[in-house]
Amino acid sequence: MNKTISKYWLCQIGGWSTYIIVYTFFYITLRTKEQPDFFKVLFLDAIIGIIITHLMRAFINRAGILKKRLDNQITSMFLITVGASFLFAFASIYLEDALNFTSDAFRQYSLINKTLRASFGSFLFLIIWNLIYFTYHYIMKSQQEQIDKVKLQSLVKELELKTIKAHINPHFIFNALNSIRALVDENPERARKAITELSNLLRSSMQAEKVETTPLSKELNIVRDYLALEHIRFEDRLNIEFSIAENTLNQPVPPMMLQTLVENAIKHGISKKMEGGVIKIISDFKDQHHELIVKNTGHINGDFNPEGFGLYSTQSRLMLLYGEKAHFEIKNTSEDMVQATITMPAASI
């Protein structure tokens, strides 16, 4: 089984090998007198350097410093470098004394004094190491964010044509037009209003690819238009409830996402019940997150496909927009009730 050395270890080996080569070059070209243990000390310092920087990297990753804000990263980098410098210097001086590598000129100083002197030199090397390490990860993080943004834009553009087919599918349009046709003679005013609602819904669907998020208030207007049209078809079989916290109306949400969940609730829940059922839409804050819930009469069984286009696009968009900070779940809460929950980071209120 072939194993390749990681980029990290290649950089470690390459960096500390360069350290040895540079010091060797200056020793050979600029030395004024022989230092019998020069190469022993040099290789010892390189080994200690590899160990200290590896421990420093482990601490950085364990403490999650790379996930903090940039100003906090800079502060943390400086403090970690200072601490690691003293550790590097102490280990180097202590081992050199123990192995009898210390030159006569430095034997007169105490361990603490020698450590303080050596820490200034080690700080220089470690700050360079940290600058390279943090800069590399900052660039990689920025590149990943750009890649995620491009993926999101690509996904949303891919949804542009599918939106009419999946979010506002032809069956819905056909049923809505039939319902409107039936209203033309018996209730012309309602028919005109229904045409406006259908127009608003189609316009919103076609514009969904132009923005990544939209205020919840606008998304609710789309959902109300959609439910008003479905109510014409289902009449008393469809009961609708809203429980919307006023301070969530300006929260950004992915466009058409709530409408997708409501459409799934009607398709897989209400339409399968002869007696119909209820759809309840809830928006509130929970643990510094914005929580959107769609409850509907129905039951998830083996025929329900959680990998369907609507739910798959919901999961994908949440992942690309918020990463692990967002969560989507759909489950049975009772024998006759299904709940879909979207949890997103709350924007500042």
Render 76-93 in DSSP notation, one character per residue.
HHHHHHHHHHHHHHHHHH
Among 77, 112, 144, identify where a domain stops: 144
- Residue 109's pLDDT is what? 60
Neighbours of 316 (CB within 10 A): 17
**Do both 114 and 210 map to the same domain?**
no
- 61: how many CB neighbours lie within 10 A of its CB? 12
* 154 occurs within a structural domain: no
> What CATH number is attached to the domain comprising 239?
3.30.565.10
Three-state DSSP at 303 gives coil
Name the β-bridge partners of 241: 280
How do residues 238-284 score in pLDDT, each as one tens digit?
Answer: 899 999 999 999 999 988 888 888 888 888 888 888 888 999 999 99
138 and 249 co-located in one domain? no
- The tens digit of pLDDT for each residue in 186-238 reads 778 888 888 888 887 777 766 655 667 889 998 898 888 888 888 887 888 88
Angle at alpha carbon of residue 205, lines to 200 and 206, rounded to 5°: 100
- For residue 191, being part of any structural domain is answered with yes
Do 324 and 181 share a domain, yes or no? yes
Q: Give the count of domains, the chain.
A: 2
Strands 238-244, 277-286: pairing is parallel
pLDDT in tens, 25-68: 888 887 777 777 778 888 888 888 888 888 988 888 888 888 88
Q: How confident is the model at residue 291 (pLDDT cuts 50, 70, 90)?
A: very high
Domain that holds residue 296: 168-345
On whether both 214 and 328 belong to a single domain, the answer is: yes
Do 126 and 212 belong together in one domain?
A: no
Is 126 among the domain residues?
A: yes
Which token pair is 216? 């919840």
Beta strands 337-345; 289-297: pairing state: antiparallel
Regarding whether 289 and 207 lie in a shared domain, the answer is: yes
